[in-house]
Amino acid sequence: MTNKNQKELVLIDGSSYLFRAYHGLPPLTHNGEPTGAIYGVLNMLRKLITDEQPDYIAVVFDAKGKTFRNDIYPEYKANRPPMPDDLRVQIEPLHQIIKAQGLPLVVIEGVEADDVIGTLSVEATRKGYSVLISTGDKDMAQLVNENVRLINTMNNQVLTEATVPEKFQVKPNQIIDYLALMGDVSDNIPGVPKVGPKTASKWLAQYGSMQGVMDKAEEIKGKVGENLRESLGFLPMSYRLATIKLDCDTGFEIEDLVQGDADTGALAAYYQQFGFKRWYEALDSNVSVPVQAVADAPKVEYECVVSEERLQHWLDKLQNASQFTIDTETTSVDYMLAKLVGISLCVETGNACYIPLAHSYSGVPRQLDKEQVLARLKPILENPAIGKIGQNIKYDCHIFIGEGIYLQGIAHDTMLQSYVLNSTASRHNMDDLAKYYLNRDTIHFEDVAGKGAKQIIFDQVEIGQATEYAAEDADITLQLHQHLSLLLRPDRRLNDVYLEIEMPLVEVLLKVEQNGVLVDQGLLQKQAVEVDRQLGQIETDIFAKAGEVFNLSSPKQIQVILYDKLELPVLRKTPKGQPSTAEDVLEELAHDYEIPALILEHRGLNKLKTTYIDKLPQEIDLRTGRVHTSYQQAVASTGRLSSTSPNLQNIPIRTAQGRRIREAFVADAGNQILALDYSQIELRIMAHLSKDENLLRAFELRQDVHRATAAEVFGESVDRVSDDQRRAAKAINFGLIYGMSAFGLGKQLNISRKEAQLYVDTYFERYPGVRRYMEETKERARDQGYVETVFGRRLYLPDINARNAVQRQYAERTAINAPMQGTAADIIKRAMIDVHRWLIDDGDQTRMIMQVHDELVFEVAEVDVERTRKTVVRLMKQAATLSVALEVDAGVGKNWHEAH
């Protein structure tokens, strides 16, 4: 560990990160200039400086030309290919930006960056400083000692004197011996043939050093011993080549390596030039930057493919590509109704095509035969080794399924990349993303199809216009993917959320949507008649009590009845100064007056009828007889899924009528509905995050956590807690998770604010870890502007430091709740992925048909229910390892309600 009182020198191996950023990140281009390596290195620097806040710092690069090692061995690095031109042109701008940031930049001729770093680390430790070397180069491990650490900021791995042996199986003072024995292919340093890490570390453990190995060469048997003896002549040279020089003439002192003031004007110009929009906007708004003329739109080649020859050309390109973007044009946004009109493809930015297949307007030119084109595309689209990139690619998968093609190799989705980067952004559609990230104004759908009542179906769009629009979509999607990858990859945890949760989930949701759920139309028709009767009776009661008939859908008429005629108290006014008839106002009035209560009952029943009872039958697909909802991955900021057509998440479960609607979701003959629900998952996550001993103990003892909370708050033994006390404790438990105030709790429990505050205060006395977690979370959110889930999903809170108290307090409540809601979302998504994989392998009699909140719903063959229940419960419990066990409640029935 570094002594807090020690001054720290941070040394950055710029050359190492330059190449790794170039090879590890896509080549982002802005106005034709490659910038990927620049961005990657600068991003690493920003994070490292923020994390370390060093006293001294230097960014070190290799100099041009040969070094002393070439004098020792002329073939040193001789096998390396020349530096790519698109990397070479980034070096000088990168150097200039680093200097403009006020960072010391060090380049010394005749030696490598490793040697400069080695020299500076020795000098710094001699002066009593600690040293942190940021590098991806394993050779640097030879510099590690009690005062020198390495950090690889690509994966955040830190190497210390204790952890070097764990990684390499040799001590830091044996690293040179280790490297010399193995050799280094990338540097063309010769080593003993067939000797790798395992043999080298074994020899060094036995003989201590390379010299010890050489001295005992005759004792080593077999082919590897023979290879060693044949290598004795050059091993000393390899040792010298692998040794980092520690006495370079730098011409400056460690104390000179301090970060100076940034040249914000120069930085603004560079950031603007290279398209680093966020960094540019983060600079002081008073910085004056020369106004640049708006660049001409980049040159593009968009092709309309209508000949066999050009189709074959594109098929060859796709076949030889590692990945490509794909987009479909169709007749509807409803994937179950949509018909394919055309396909756009892009392998390299600026060069895309559109294949029209089913345009049908009068005078339409000849198009390739749709069936033949799809038959030739099918082997490529179903090849998992060729990656497919899309914008909301799940929709395109549905369209291809309708054509008998099952898209495989689903690699990336730019909508999901954007969502993971910033889930609080309101829109993740391609047009908005192109404007925000690429500063590109794209062709909108309305530009080619028209607006409103005059909008035409895409098969009526003129093919030339369609080509420009559709090919641009594919091209922009590829550009967005490259850009967003560059932003995601430096943050390992965030990138893991994208690659390990969101992308695998696409195929899961695709399957769930295709499965659909069977709905009992006859039952819904009966419920519609019954609800109409109930609504009529409520209306009769309201009109009788009001003394007149009025329009229950008119806030103005309700206002007149409640406040003018009946003279009910005005609890709140609208912005226009009129007495409010909002739901929360009516709820408060309903405690004392009948008509507001009846109006609320009428509203609730009417909403259920219009949203579900009447609408569900209209959404049954005529071909499948099922309802096929659409799950939205990129809507809820916490990571929760939402659904549309129908919205399954909003079907009430607490009201009797809401529960009855669930009766209409049924299993087919010979099947059962299996519903599995995580038990109190957000409270379990709170226990895990807060580490509160009492909360952890309640779960460990498998107590009723609400009864346990009631016992703590009301000072009773668990077995003496009343139902009312448990109800109050449940409101406290869930209310605090959602940031509820004492005022809100009082309203919910119908008690005074003072009494509610006493409950809250007592709760925090009994669960101090929860209070500590909440305060620490708010403070962390204020410092960094976001909170994270257990798995690294990030939720930004732009109002966390707002001057407006209402905005700030809302952000604070969100900061407390989001890690729990988001972690719960991550857990059920991970469970869905695991269950989906099991179903593919061994669940041919089971279909996952719904995901609602913390619940998964399946349709299972009756003979397979018990096996499926046990397996899915196990997989759901294993989806995350927390401080408390996850519990899953399971139920079975002929319909969804019965399964609860």
Identify whether residues 22 and 148 lie together within a single domain: yes
Region 50-70: what's the mean pLDDT?
Answer: 87
Indicate whether 712 pLDDT > 60: yes
- Residue 42 near residue 490, CB atoms below 8 Å: no
Answer whether residue 799 is part of any domain.
Answer: yes
Answer whether residue 643 is part of any domain.
Answer: no
Angle at 723 between CA 719 and CA 725, to 5 degrees: 85
Answer whether residue 856 is part of any domain.
Answer: no
Answer whether residue 674 is part of any domain.
Answer: no
Distance (Å, rounded) from C-alpha 492 to C-alpha 17? 16
Identify whether residues 400 and 531 lie together within a single domain: no
Q: Given CA atoms 743, 744, 746, 750 in this order, what sign does their dihedral have?
A: positive
Beta bridge partners of 847: 859
Retrieve residue 729's tokens: 């404790």
Distance (Å, rounded) from C-alpha 192 to C-alpha 229? 9
What is residue 619's predicted lDDT score, i.e. its pLDDT? 94
Where residue 281 falls among pLDDT bands split at 50, 70, 90?
confident
Question: Which residue bears the tokens 């448990």?
Answer: 726
Q: Given CA atoms 693, 699, 702, 703 in this order, what sign does their dihedral have?
A: positive
CATH number at residue 528: 1.20.1060.10
Answer whether residue 285 is part of any domain.
Answer: no
What is residue 22's predicted lDDT score, i.e. its pLDDT? 66
Answer whether residue 662 is part of any domain.
Answer: no
Identify whether residues 389 and 446 lie together within a single domain: yes
CATH number at residue 121: 3.40.50.1010
Distance (Å, rounded) from C-alpha 850 to C-alpha 847? 9
Distance (Å, rounded) from C-alpha 608 to C-alpha 596? 18
Retrieve residue 365's tokens: 């030119």
Query: 734 or 507: whose pLDDT is higher?
Result: 507
What is residue 286's predicted lDDT score, i.e. its pLDDT? 44
Identify whether residues 318 and 458 lie together within a single domain: yes
Indicate whether 96 pLDDT > 90: no
Kindly report the pTM of this predicted structure. 0.68
Query: Could you read off the pLDDT of 224-276 as tens digits, one per residue?
Result: 888 899 889 889 998 999 999 998 888 888 998 998 888 887 787 778 777 78
DSSP string, 850-882: EEETTEEEEEEEGGGHHHHHHHHHHHHHTT---
Query: Could you read off the pLDDT of 530-558 as tens digits, one per residue?
Result: 999 999 999 999 999 999 999 998 999 99
Torsion of the alpha carbons at 430, 435, 438 and 443, rounded to the nearest 10? 60
Identify whether residues 107 and 201 lie together within a single domain: no
Rounded to the nearest angstrom, the gap between the alpha carbon of residue 860 and the centroid of all alpha carbons in its chain is 32
Identify whether residues 447 and 386 lie together within a single domain: yes
Least confident of 103-107, 558-562, 618-622, 801-805: 801-805
Retrieve residue 435's tokens: 């404007």
Distance (Å, rounded) from C-alpha 200 to C-alpha 182? 7
Indicate whether 574 pLDDT > 90: no
Identify whether residues 156 and 219 lie together within a single domain: no
Answer whether residue 339 is part of any domain.
Answer: yes
Helix (H) or strand (E) holding 343: strand 340-348
Query: Could you read off the pLDDT of 630-653 as tens digits, one per residue?
Result: 999 999 999 999 999 999 888 887
DSSP classification of residue 650: G
Structurally, the chain folds into a number of domains equal to: 5
Question: What percentage of the chain exceeds 70 in pLDDT?
Answer: 96
Indicate whether 4 pLDDT > 90: no
- Residue 785 near residue 814, CB atoms below 8 Å: no
Retrieve residue 68's tokens: 């002393």
Last residue of a domain, one of 597, 613, 639: 597
590, 582, 595, 508: which is closest to 544 by C-alpha?
595
Identify whether residues 120 and 205 lie together within a single domain: no
Helix (H) or strand (E) holding 150: strand 148-152
Using DSSP's 3-state secondary structure scheme, residue 146 falls into coil
Q: How many CA atoms lie within 13 A of 399 on its CB side?
A: 22
Residue 509 is which amino acid?
L
Using DSSP's 3-state secondary structure scheme, residue 33 falls into strand
3-state SS record for 522-569: HHHHHHHHHHHHHHHHHHHHHHHHHCCCCCCCCHHHHHHHHHHHCCCC
Answer whether residue 512 is part of any domain.
Answer: no
Angle at 199 between CA 195 and CA 205, to 5 degrees: 140
| Strongest mean pLDDT among 114-118, 376-380, 559-563 | 376-380
Identify whether residues 153 and 194 lie together within a single domain: no
| Residue 69: CB atoms within 10 Å | 21
Last residue of a domain, one of 546, 581, 597: 597
Q: What is the CA radius of gyration of the chain?
A: 33
DSSP classification of residue 612: I
Residue ranges in 691-843 assigned as alpha helix (H): 693-700, 705-714, 723-737, 742-749, 753-766, 768-784, 805-842
Retrieve residue 656's tokens: 């009797």
Distance (Å, rounded) from C-alpha 275 to C-alpha 284? 17
Dump strand ranges (E) for 45-112.
56-60, 105-106
Q: C-alpha distances in angstroms, 218 versus 195, 213, 223, 232, 239?
A: 16, 9, 12, 11, 20
Identify whether residues 535 and 456 lie together within a single domain: no
Using DSSP's 3-state secondary structure scheme, residue 17 falls into helix
Identify whether residues 351 and 375 lie together within a single domain: yes
Last residue of a domain, one of 533, 565, 597: 597
Where residue 154 falls among pLDDT bands split at 50, 70, 90?
low
Range of the domain at 567: 521-597
Identify whether residues 696 and 808 lie together within a single domain: yes
CATH number at residue 795: 1.10.150.20
Query: Could you read off the pLDDT of 208-229 as tens digits, one per residue?
Result: 999 999 998 888 888 888 889 9
Beta bridge partners of 696: none
Question: What percentage of the chain exceeds 90 in pLDDT?
Answer: 58
Question: Which residue bears the tokens 């560059």?
Answer: 486
